[in-house]
Amino acid sequence: LVVRSKELNLKDYSVCFGNAKTLLSKFLSDTKYSMFFVLVDENTKTHCLPLISEAVSGFEVIEITSGEVNKNLETCNLIWNKLIEKNAGRNTLLINLGGGVIGDMGGFCAAVYKRGIDFLQIPTTLLSQVDASVGGKLGIDFNLIKNCIGVFRNPLQVIIDSDFLSTLPKREFLSGYAEIYKHALIFDDEYWKLLQKYPPLNNINTKELNEIIYSSVEIKKKVVEQDPFEKNIRKILNFGHTIGHAVETYFLERDEKPLLHGEAIIVGMICESYLSSKFNGLSEESLKDIISTFGYSYQYRLIPKSAHLKILSFIKNDKKNIAKENNFTFLNKIGDSKINCTANKEEIIDALNFYNKTVI
Ligand SMILES: NC(=O)c1ccc[n+]([C@@H]2O[C@H](COP(=O)([O-])OP(=O)(O)OC[C@H]3O[C@@H](n4cnc5c(N)ncnc54)[C@H](O)[C@@H]3O)[C@@H](O)[C@H]2O)c1
Ligand SMILES: [Zn+2]
C-alpha cells in the first residue's frame, strides 16, 4: 500500500481526505456566505456534528429522521420549509452531514431551492464515502421507486474523514464494503486481490482503511469523469444493481426488516455474476471466488419464490432500463466488465434460484 495525496480533483470540485473539522475550516475561510445550515439525522447529530461544529460559526441545524423510508418528498418539504422559515437566500450554504440518504436528499433540496444554492457533502458512512460522495447524482425515492426523482449536480467540495466511521454500526460498515467490492470487480483485479486480504469483519486499521476508501473513490472518479451523465461507461457502476435495487425495493415495500442498500447489492452481484458466467464468459472459478469472498463476511437472506414476480416488475420499472430491455452490467472477468447486457425473465428467475441455492 502506498501513501497518496489527500485530495482528488474532479472537473469542478474536489474530494478532500483528512480531518473533517480542519478541512471544513479551511474551506470556509475563503468563502462569504450569509447563512449556514447543517443537515443531520438523529444519529449524525449525536455522533458527527460535534466533530465539525467548531469549524462553523453560527449555523442552523436541520434534523430529519434517519432511514431510506424517509428519503422522500415529505422530508424535502420539511427541509425546504425550514430554509424558508429562516429566510435562507441564494447566498446560503447547506452542509450535508450524514450517509447517502442525507447526501442525496440534502443535495437535491439544495440543487432546486431558489434554483440552486451551494452545498458541501460530508459523508459519514462508508457507503456514502466511497460511492454516493462522487458523481453528482442527487435525489429521492418516489412511489417506492428508488431514486425516481432527482438531478445531477455537484457539490462545492466533498470532505471524507474515516474517523466518522468509528461510531458506524457494523452492519452499515459491511453495507458500504459491498460497493468497495463492486469497484474492484468491475474495474481492478489487483484491488480485488488486495481486498481479499482485508475482509471487513476483521478490524482493518485506519491506514489501510484510508487507502481502501481512497482507491474506491479514485475508481469512481475515473468512471464518472469519462461519462458524467451515464450514457455509457458509467453504467459499469450498476453492476449488481439491476437485480439488487429490485430486491431492495421488494424488502422495503414489505417493510419487514428491510435490507440495507449494500446487502441488497451483494444479492444482486451474486445473481449478476451468475448471469455473467452463463452469458458473458466469466469463469466458474471467478464465480466461486466471488461467492466465497462475500460468504466470509455477509449473512444472506433467502429470497422467497413468491417474491420473483414482484422483483421482476421492479426491474422493469428501474430507471436504468432502456425501453423494453433489461439492462445489465456483466463481468467479463474479475476487474473487467461490459455494459448494456440483457437477460430475460426466465434467466433472471434462474439467477434468483441460483442465489437461494448458494445461500442455503
Ligand atoms: N448518489 C449516489 O451516487 C449514491 C450512490 C450510492 C448510494 N446512494 C444512496 O445512498 C443511500 C444509502 O446510504 P447509506 O448506506 O449511507 O445509508 P444512510 O444514509 O441511511 O445511513 C445509514 C445509517 O447510519 C447512520 N449513520 C450515518 N453516519 C453515522 C455515523 N458516523 N455513526 C453512526 N451512525 C451513522 C444513519 O443515521 C443511518 O441510520 C441510499 O439512499 C442510496 O440510494 C447514492
Ligand atoms: Zn449502490
Which residues in the chain come in under a pLDDT of 50?
Answer: 1-4, 323
Residue 257: CB atoms within 10 Å: 7
Residue 29: CB atoms within 10 Å: 8
User: How many angstroms is it from 279 CA to the middle of ligand 1?
Assistant: 33
* Ligand 1, atom 18: closest residue by C-alpha: 99
User: How many angstroms is it from 99 CA to the middle of ligand 1?
Assistant: 3
pLDDT at position 321 is 56
| Global pTM value | 0.94
Element (H, E) at 121: strand 118-123
Query: Any idea which residue has 462475500 for its cell?
Result: 294
pLDDT at position 155 is 98
User: How many angstroms is it from 149 CA to the middle of ligand 2?
Assistant: 16
Burial class (CB in 10 A: 0-12, 13-18, 19+), 189: middle
Q: Grid coordinates representing 48?
A: 458527527
Tell me the β-bridge partners of 97: 122
pLDDT at position 4 is 47
pLDDT at position 353 is 97
pLDDT at position 317 is 67
CA distance 214 to 249: 30
Look at residues 356, 185, 347 and name the one whose alpha carbon lies nearest to residue 269: 185
pLDDT at position 326 is 67
* AA identity, residue 267: V
CA distance 354 to 105: 35
Query: Any idea which residue has 468563502 for its cell?
Result: 31
pLDDT at position 320 is 60
Residue 207, CA distances (Å) to 5, 19, 103, 271 in order = 13, 13, 25, 33
Q: Indicate the DSSP class of residue 307.
A: G
Q: Which residues line ligand 1 at a C-beta cut-off of 6 Å?
A: 41, 43-44, 47-48, 66-68, 71, 98-102, 104, 124-125, 127-128, 131-132, 135, 137, 147, 164, 167-168, 172, 175, 261
